[in-house]
Amino acid sequence: MFSFFLLILLFCSINFVSTATPYRVCQSELGTIKTFDVTGCTTAPCKFVKGNTYTMNITFQSKASSITAKVSIHGIIAGVPIPFPLPDPDGCKLGIKCPVNEGDINTASLSLPVLPSYPSMSLYVKIEIIGDNKNQDYACLKFPATITSGSKQLQQFVSWKKGKFFEMLD
């Protein structure tokens, strides 16, 4: 009987894990990430097919107040963070209720078009939500991704080692 419950528990937890996008948190003094979801990505690395737009939802709880909330995205390629320019990085226009108060739970919803001009490659995507104090984040996360022209091309561009998608971050 006990092992039966254990099996159910295991099944539920596997089920739960498979519905969210795998990520790692980075230093964020001002808040805690509750959930993170990228369109169609439940296993690492996230596959971004050129010509498509992907939505990234970050739900976080704040530990401090702030008038503003800015979103910053970097692509980390071979260890080098390259800024990804957002048309409007104002998090208050991306679903965050501003001003942000201590204890608030907000969801930032980012739309990321993966343009045909992007190179096919594997990289880490780093997303930060930054409060008034530019050195402190409400949320900071990184996740492995692969940009491809289509599903057929996928294999040749995946340079990740199986099961070691987060290793290069540490």
Ligand X SMILES: *[C@@H]1O[C@H](CO)[C@@H](O)[C@H](O)[C@H]1NC(C)=O
Neighbouring residues of 15: CB distance < 8 A, sequence distance ≥ 6: none
Closer CB to ligand X, 32 or 57, in the complex: 57
Binds ligand X (CB under 6 A): choice among 37, 104, 128, 137 = 37
How many positions of this chain bind ligand X (CB under 6 A)? 6
- Part of the chain binding ligand X (CB under 6 A), chosen from 25-33, 37-45, 125-133, 149-157: 37-45
- Output the CA–CA distances (angstroms, integers) from residue 123 to 4, 53, 79, 126, in the order listed: 41, 17, 9, 10
Binds ligand X (CB under 6 A): choice among 39, 68, 120, 149 = 39
Tell me how far, at minimum, the Cβ of 65 lies from ligand X, in Å.
Answer: 24
89: which 2 tokens? 């990085």
The 8-class DSSP code of residue 169 comes to G
Of 56, 57, 60, nearest to 33 (Cα)?
Answer: 60
Closer CB to ligand X, 44 or 136, in the complex: 44
Binds ligand X (CB under 6 A): choice among 32, 65, 109, 153 = 109
Whether the CA torsion 88, 35, 47, 131 is positive or negative: it is positive
**x-marked contacts with ligand X along 56-75 as a string, rule CB under 6 A:** -x------------------
Closer CB to ligand X, 90 or 132, in the complex: 90
Tell me how far, at minimum, the Cβ of 59 lies from ligand X, in Å.
Answer: 9
Q: Please report whether residue 137 would count as binding ligand X according to CB under 6 A.
A: no
Q: How far is it, in rounded angstroms, from Cα 8 to Cα 134?
A: 45
Q: Percentages helix, strand, coil for the chain, rounded to the nearest 5?
A: 15, 40, 40
Q: How far is it, in rounded angstroms, from Cα 165 to Cα 40?
A: 18
Q: Please report whether residue 55 would count as binding ligand X according to CB under 6 A.
A: yes
Give the binding site for ligand X (CB under 6 A): 37-39, 55, 57, 109
